Structure 1
Amino acid sequence: MSLRRFATPPAPAPGTVPGAAAPPGEAAGEVCELCADPLGDRHGHLVDREDRRIMCACRPCSLLFAPDKGQRLRMIPERYRHDPGFALTEEDWIFPVRTAFFFRNSALGRMVALYPSPAGATESELPLDAWERIMAAGPAAAHLEPDVEALLVDRESGAYLVPIDACYRLVGLVRLHWKGFDGGTEARDRIDAFFAGLRERADE
């Protein structure tokens, strides 16, 4: 599923993450951003680890960046896992929304916590002790690959180990459909459908 279906965001609102780039805007005749060959609906993605940009890539170009050899570009894997038993206390959940995602940013040398919002991917200043409690709440977080995988936590259905581009698909979904204070029925239904799709793909 192409990330280009989401509109390019406006200038970041206060509190949004510099460099946590949302997927690029829709473009006719989508092509690989490395070799310019045409792309189909299903294709690979790369992360630029310095500026956090997600790039669309054909399969041959993606495979050039599969091993982690310290390259600037890294192929995003397609591993999905679901941990329905993941549990946090209300005290540990410091986010104003039902979902948040966590990944190790190698450029910053630390974990980053973000949540989808109508303004885009918004960073939370998560204290170290809170992250340690989140790590201990389930096994999935211990297996994350830096930069390319995230722990996506949904307060209603558990935690998911997912490719980082899946998190930005959710960010785009929230930006496109959120209405008013509580999001509205359409946004909630689409978020529920998104997580149902993750569960179908996950190897629990």
Structure 2
Amino acid sequence: MCAEDIGDHHQHVVDVVGRQLMCVCRGCYLLFTDSRADLRYRAVPDRFLSFPEFTVDRHAWSALQIPVEVAFFFRNSALDRVVAFYPGAAGACESELELDLWDAVTAGDDRSALLADDVEALLIRMPEIGTPQCFLLPIDTCYEFVGGLRSLWRGFDGGTDVHAFIDGFFGTIGERAKDVPP
């Protein structure tokens, strides 16, 4: 974005129109932190929240037709709708999300309204057995997660390394995230 050098640890902004993450220096990041401004670029915040007891109806989840147990959802302001992505061998796969189905998944839990457009996502893990998990995360963290999975993916379901990576990732964000009660 500018000529300033950035280190390995840096921040990101989202190009809302181009749907791209951009690495930026601290100065450029600060230019785009006003969440109320109508800007093409928006700073990705560093907020990690856990939504314990997030009630995801299994029937509604199945209707989303996401072929894996993990997906992230964010509101794309340029499209004026929620979009869904799930990890796969090729990286982040966009799912054609019907808004009424999304409403059914989030019905009864107002915490999903905390999501900042374009820059934060709800990452939901819906295991076949066990309790669903839901986190509000920076959008760049979701793409880093998918990138980590892609580098390990083997075969049809990802393999044992992918499953271990998912467990480790959810353990790490679970420790970092602040609980937001229902």
Output aligned runs, 1:9-88, within 5 Å. 34-68=1-35, 69-88=37-56
Listed one character per residue, the Cα deviations across residues 69-126 of structure 1 (whole Å, up to 9, x for unaligned) are 1111110000110113123233111311010111111111111111111122212222
Among all aligned residue pairs of Structure 1 and Structure 2, give the percentage whose two residues are the same amino acid. Answer: 48
Q: In structure 2, how many angstroms separate the alpha carbons of the residues matched to 1:184 and 1:137?
A: 35
Q: In structure 2, how many angstroms separate the alpha carbons of the residues matched to 1:46 and 1:76?
A: 5
Query: What is the CA RMSD across the aligned residues, in angstroms?
Result: 1.4
Q: In structure 2, how many angstroms separate the alpha carbons of the residues matched to 1:42 and 1:137?
A: 38
Contact 2:57 2:105 in 1 (8 A): no
Is there any run of 5+ residues in structure 2 with no aligned partner, and where?
Answer: none
Contact 2:120 2:138 in 1 (8 A): yes
Question: Alignment partner of 1:91: what SS?
Answer: helix
Contact 1:85 1:138 in 2 (8 A): no
CA distance 1:138–1:76, shift in 2 (3 Å): same
Output aligned runs, 1:95-174, within 5 Å. 95-136=66-107, 138-156=109-127, 157-174=132-149
**Aligned pair count?**
171
Contact 2:49 2:177 in 1 (8 A): yes
How much has 1:38 moved relative to structure 2? 2.2
Q: Which protein has the bigger helix share?
A: 2
Is there any run of 5+ residues in structure 1 with no aligned partner, and where?
Answer: 1-33
TM-score, normalised to structure 2's length? 0.88
Correspondence for 1:195 = 170
How much has 1:137 moved relative to structure 2? 5.2
Q: Which has the higher contact order (CA 8 A, sep 6+)?
A: 2
